[in-house]
Amino acid sequence: MAESPAFPTRSHGGPDSEGVPLFDFSTNSNTCGPCPAALAMVQLADASHYPDAGYAALRRKLAAFHEVDAQRVLLAGSASEFIFRITALAVQRGATAVWLPPHSYGDYAQAAQAWKLPVAAHAQHAQLRWACDPSSPLGAAQSRLAELAEGAALCVLDRAYEPLRLEGALALSDAALQTFWQLWTPNKALGLTGVRAAYVIAPPHAGDAVVQLDNLAPSWPVGAHGVAMLQAWTTPEVQAWLAASLATLREWKARQIALCEAMGWTCLPSAANFFCARPLLPHGMSLPQLLAELRGQGIKLRDTTSFGLPGRVRLGVLAPAAQDALHNAWQHIIRKAT
């Protein structure tokens, strides 16, 4: 009997075939988490019943939190689920191309490929346009953001890292922001990435598209635990915890960058709780070999080759003990190599 072909592995951070890393720098989750109040609400979620299929109460909470009409709020199983769904909508509406930032989350391209939608070299030639600010993997501002929404294209602003912005602000006026579909994934900011749930704020006059996207969704895209997390997200207690965590992350980020630079690594600018760096490689060792050596010591970093940045890694900001473990492991590798 012939073996079934293996599914291709998508490149992501986080746990892998070796399990959960002891020190996981490869994800952008808030290392101060999980947020205690949000975790408690998730643990108390009643999983014995379906959520309301229309998510009426949750949509009202999210709408009040963002000060928008509830008709503009869409629920999604995750950011990735919505990425595929809005790509399907773009194709239904006659899109012939998609535009991606130069370095961006792989699921934007994956969804386009699944729908046989080519990637345009210039935004004005695409009917679906993606933006992310702070961006991934760089954690930087998206250049020429306001220009993306010119014309009649579907423009999506991925705001996964907005709650984890450590400096600066989104360079968009409120009027310009209203032209984007805003994709929010609070599980990163809450340190609860295992809970899959997201939501979208649609532009004010996107009623027909909202209906189409709702029709494209499976029933109950968000389960009871995701509903509980999103409800927690809107509470003052959870937002206060998040604000306090940002102060901690700023201190830890400065320490982590200083440590990396002391190791001879070149760090790139970032406004978020993660940054990219070019590691100093021992003589004769490739980056994949270095990452494999570190993984063997329980430390995982994110190779950014899949983002179009070969030779670099992305590091989420972790606590000082994890930073010291990285430093000690790297020194051990250097000593072995010499």
With helix as H, strand as E and coil as C, how does 100-149 read? CCCCCCHHHHHHHHHCCCCECCCHHHCCEEEEECCCCCCCCCCCCHHHHC
Per DSSP, 16 falls in state: B
What residues make up the domain containing 87? 36-237
Long-range contact list for 143-146, CB < 8 A, 24+ apart? 145/170, 145/171, 145/172, 145/176, 146/171, 146/172, 146/173, 146/176
Does residue 131 share a domain with residue 58? yes
CA distance 18 to 20: 7
Of 157, 155, 93, 158, the residue nearest 124 (C-alpha): 155
Q: What is the pLDDT of residue 9?
A: 52
Does residue 282 share a domain with residue 198? no
Does residue 172 share a domain with residue 119? yes
Does residue 192 share a domain with residue 148? yes
Residue showing tokens 């720098």: 25
Q: Tell me the CATH number at 276.
A: 3.90.1150.10
CA distance 184 to 163: 9
Q: What is the pLDDT of residue 7?
A: 39
Does residue 320 share a domain with residue 200? no
Per DSSP, 191 falls in state: T
Q: What is the pLDDT of residue 1?
A: 39
DSSP string, 263-326: TTPEEPP-SSSEEEEEPPPPTT--HHHHHHHHHHTTEE-EE-GGGT-TT-EEEE---HHHHHHH
- Strands 23-24 and 299-300, by their bridges, are parallel
Burial of 183 (0-12, 13-18, 19+ CB in 10 A): buried
Does residue 202 share a domain with residue 252? no
Domain's final residue, options 237, 257, 278: 237
Q: What is the pTM of this model?
A: 0.94
Q: Which two tokens stand for residue 297?
A: 């010591």
Torsion of CA 273, 279, 285, 286, to 10 degrees: 60
How many CA within 13 A on the CB side of residue 170?
A: 23
Does residue 151 share a domain with residue 173? yes
Residue showing tokens 């599980």: 187
Domain's final residue, options 214, 237, 260: 237
Q: Is residue 107 included in any domain, yes or no?
A: yes
Residue 266, Cα to own-chain centre: how many angstroms? 23
The length of the chain is 338
Averaged in consecutive runs of 10 residues, what is the pLDDT profile of the chain (338 residues)?
46 79 95 98 97 97 98 97 98 96 93 96 95 96 87 92 97 94 98 97 95 96 98 98 98 98 97 97 92 96 92 97 97 87
- Strands 274-278 and 313-316, by their bridges, are antiparallel
Q: What is the pLDDT of residue 10?
A: 64
**CB proximity list for 168: less than 8 A, separation 6 or greater:** 141, 271
Taking the CA atoms of 316, 319, 320 and 324 in sequence, report the sign of the dihedral they define. negative
Q: Is residue 7 included in any domain, yes or no?
A: no
Does residue 103 share a domain with residue 222? yes
CA distance 97 to 245: 40
Q: Which two tokens stand for residue 43?
A: 């643990």
Q: Is residue 232 included in any domain, yes or no?
A: yes
Task: Judge if the upstream peptide bond of residue 163 is cis by omega within 30 degrees of 0.
Answer: no
CA distance 12 to 242: 25
Q: What is the pLDDT of residue 6?
A: 44
Q: Is residue 81 included in any domain, yes or no?
A: yes
**Structural domains of the chain, count:** 2
Q: What is the pLDDT of residue 15?
A: 77
Q: Is residue 48 included in any domain, yes or no?
A: yes
Does residue 211 share a domain with residue 62? yes
* Residues 120-149: b if buried by 16+ CB within 10 A, e if exposed: beebeebbbbbbbbbbbbbbbbbeebeebb
Q: What is the pLDDT of residue 4?
A: 43
Domain's final residue, options 184, 216, 237: 237
Phi–psi pair at 126, nearest 5 degrees: -115, 145
CA distance 83 to 173: 24
Does residue 122 share a domain with residue 262? no
Does residue 203 share a domain with residue 77? yes
Q: Is residue 6 included in any domain, yes or no?
A: no
Phi–psi pair at 263, nearest 5 degrees: -80, -5
Q: Tell me the CATH number at 141.
A: 3.40.640.10
Does residue 44 share a domain with residue 161? yes
